[in-house]
Amino acid sequence: MWFFVIGDLFIFGVYFVSYLWFRSADHALFLDSQRHLNQDIGVVNTVILLTSSLFVALGTAAARGGNARHALRLFGFALACGAAFPVLKAFEWIPEIAAGYRPGTNLFFMYYYVLAGMHLCHVLLGLMILGFVMRELRQSRAPRIRFVETGATYWHMVDLLWLVLFALLYLMR
Amino acid sequence: MSVPAGSFASAAGVPVRPWYRSRKLDQWICFWSVPFFYNLFGLVFVPLSSMMPPKSPSASTQQIVGFFQGDHLLIACVILTLSLGLAPVSNAVYLTQIKRMSVSPAFRVAFLGGTVMGAIVGMTFPLFCFGLGAFRPGYDPAVLVMLYDFGYLAFIGSLGCFCVTWAMFGLAIILDRNRILPKWLGYYTVWQFMSELMAAPIWLTQSQPFGWNGVMTFWFAMLVYVPWQFIIYVWIYKAIKRQPEDELDNAPSRTRVRQRDTAGAAP
Amino acid sequence: MNTRGQRILLWIAPAAGALFLLAYFLFPIFSASLSPTQTPDEIAAFFHDHGSGILGVSVMINLIGGMLIPLFAVTAVQMSRIGNSSPVFTYSYILCVGIGTTAFLLADYCWGIAAYRPDRNPQLLTLLNDMGWFLFTAPVGTILMQNLCLALAIYLDTRAEPVFPRWVAHFNVATAVLFVPGAFTFLHKTGPLAWNGILSFDLRVLTFAAYVAVMFFVLLRIVGRQTEDVELRL
């Protein structure tokens, strides 16, 4: 999984760097377009993912300590939190698209949708992985800690990516 | 130990079969056809047709019309037609390894479906679009621009077929308990799926960096894809080599059983 | 024993052949030649005059293309019985069949679409017609490879009683070679290699018809001799 995480970070890293490069080439356009983003939902999503990551970390610790039932509950909270992310994303994007801010609108919005879109795919995959971890904790007599840790690592990566994304796309002036 | 006829003794005195008597000859023939095919493919798409690296989606009409002059696109079509059967062979090499994995047969079937889609939609028809533009003079520039768009968008923008193919392959490797291919390679294969997603924006814009010749959609995707292609073949070579002989479909133990069956059958 | 299913599948091929003969006599458009040197107006006139004939053939070829798949399927099943070290040849075969038939059908669609609204812009009709011929040429590559795969599988058959007689392998190689000229249609507008030429068209179509006929009888015999159940190792 670490191989995957590092590679994924590399791929996103290249996107982030190229974003910064093109941003510096047309600063005005990017600044102007950025104003149309919904910062409030962005902030809430950040909090959601951070909370979710916290639950994942606690859940992993519980699993390591042998308390599968407690771990299961914590992962459940993590999943519930994380599931709110795509829902909020829909609330964020549907009005934006309706207002005419689409990927083809300009370069900033292309980056915005591509980056956030790729990240969203990772979130959805992460939710599935959390689901599998929960199944492992519930059904297995001796849950494989390795698997739990793998899932947790992936989720933390998703969270980390969002933090960078949020800073670059929503906050940076 | 006496050396059976048709083989020769290695340094350790163990009989070694020459390559043309290898039990795995079918796999080796198909395996070695792949580098041959990829080189031919490269020849067709790069120097011969100059389709690759991709020309710009925002090229002028005049430039696009000029691109279709000359016979090189048609020669490229001839070579592609003769060699396109090798694409299924290279996919069959993947399939054969997936079959050895402990995962459900559904992965093979999905992979199979994806590659059939990809060969027409992502390889043959795009080059034919370019050939069509070169085949007869007198087409309206608008028609040529349409063929230009169709060719490039289909070639670089064929996402779904390859997404499913690499996803199935990658997942199969990750879930495989027989360790035919290493797990990290499974994750690397899943990125090929991502590199297809990375190409999606080409449908939405005509300029850098997200156009079909874009830094992010084409060049970066190539950076992710090309090393993987080499690496996967090196590892498949190892996998074929390492495959124990008694696992083969034509292993001696199985051939003896089959011979017993047919010997006892009525003529 | 699962030979009855295979026999049923095989007999679909003669049905396809019968349908083809029906199309040939019912819609005599094959005799009207469509040369690559015709101007857009001539092509437009062709589709206008022979519209219904072309549509009829188009529909029937649509069906015939699909009806050949069972024969190839039985071939693949028998190939898998050979038991080379892996199913790699069988996979290649199946993939080639899928790709080739798809290209063939798309070609058929192009002509059908051209005939559907013959008062289109002559340039569009020319484009559709050209597209049809390009796609019609593509299966040269797949048939070439699938025949070679079958031939190789037969050559590498180490069973005491091989599934296919050896001459079938030679036959497959020979037909593959006879298809090769067909790939050169892109470079010639006249002569034997043009898409209406002797080598690219007549030879190719006759070779294919002969191939299907011969393989039909070969497979019928093989299925008849099959004694054990086929365990599909795919």
Tokens representing B240 are 């074929």
pLDDT of residue C28: 65
3-state secondary structure of B16: strand
pLDDT band at B1 (very low <50, low <70, confident <90, very high): very low
Report, as an integer, the average pLDDT of B183-209. 87
Residue among B214, B86, B104 nearest B157 (CA): B214
Dist CA C114 CA B109 (whole Å): 35
Q: A-chain residues within 8 Å CB-CB of B190?
A: 4
Q: Which amino acid is at C177?
A: V
Is the predicted pLDDT of residue C38 greater than 70, yes or no? yes
Interval C91-131: pLDDT, tens: 999 999 999 999 999 999 998 898 898 788 888 888 999 99
Is the predicted pLDDT of residue C31 greater than 70, yes or no? no
Dist CA B214 CA B225 (whole Å): 15
Cβ pair C186:B119 closer than 8 A:
no
Cβ pair A103:B190 closer than 8 A:
no
A80 contacts chain B (CB < 8 A): no
Answer yes or no: are the C-beta atoms of B129 and B147 closer than 8 Å.
Answer: yes
Is the predicted pLDDT of residue B251 greater than 80, yes or no? no
pLDDT of residue B266: 39
B 111-140 near C (Cβ less than 8 A)? 112, 115-116, 119-120, 124-125, 128, 131-132, 135-136, 138-140
pLDDT band at B258 (very low <50, low <70, confident <90, very high): low
Count of CB atoms situated within 10 Å of the CB of B255: 17
Report, as an integer, the average pLDDT of A95-100. 88
Express as a percent the part of chain B with pLDDT over 70. Answer: 89
Residue among C72, C112, C119 nearest C92 (CA): C72
Q: What is the DSSP letter of B9?
A: E
Dist CA C186 CA B74 (whole Å): 6
Residue of B nearest to C156 (CA): B26
Dist CA A171 CA A164 (whole Å): 10
Distances (CA, A) of B226 to B184, B191, B223, B255: 17, 12, 6, 40
Interval B46-76: pLDDT, tens: 888 888 888 888 888 888 888 888 788 899 8
Residue of C nearest to B72 (CA): C187
Q: How many CB pairs under 8 A join B and C?
A: 172
φ, ψ for residue C122 (rounded to 5)?
-55, -30
φ, ψ for residue B16 (rounded to 5)?
-120, 130
Q: Which residues contact C100 (CB under 8 A, 6 or more apart)?
A: C138, C139, C141, C142, C143, C146
Residue among C125, C112, C119 nearest C23 (CA): C112
Is the predicted pLDDT of residue C58 greater than 80, yes or no? yes
Q: What is the DSSP letter of B178?
A: S
Q: C-chain residues within 8 Å CB-CB of B80?
A: 141
pLDDT of residue B267: 38
Across-strand partners of B15? B9
Interval B4-17: pLDDT, tens: 554 555 555 556 67
Dist CA A125 CA A158 (whole Å): 10
Closest by Cβ to B209, choosing from A18, A102, A104: A18
φ, ψ for residue C34 (rounded to 5)?
-115, 100
Distances (CA, A) of C33 to C28, C37, C78, C184: 11, 11, 39, 19
Compute, in degrees rounded to 10, the torsion defined by CA atoms A117, A119, A125, A127. -110
pLDDT of residue B256: 57
pLDDT band at A27 (very low <50, low <70, confident <90, very high): confident
Tokens representing C18 are 């019968």
Tokens representing A153 are 């690592």
pLDDT of residue B138: 82
Tokens representing A120 are 């969203």
Question: Whole-model pTM?
Answer: 0.86
Dist CA C161 CA A121 (whole Å): 54
pLDDT of residue B33: 93
pLDDT band at C150 (very low <50, low <70, confident <90, very high): very high
pLDDT of residue B264: 42
Distance, in angstroms, between A87 CA and closest chain B CA? 22
Q: Which amino acid is at B110?
A: A
ipTM value, please give it.
0.85
Residue of B nearest to A122 (CA): B194
Distance, in angstroms, between A120 CA and closest chain B CA? 12
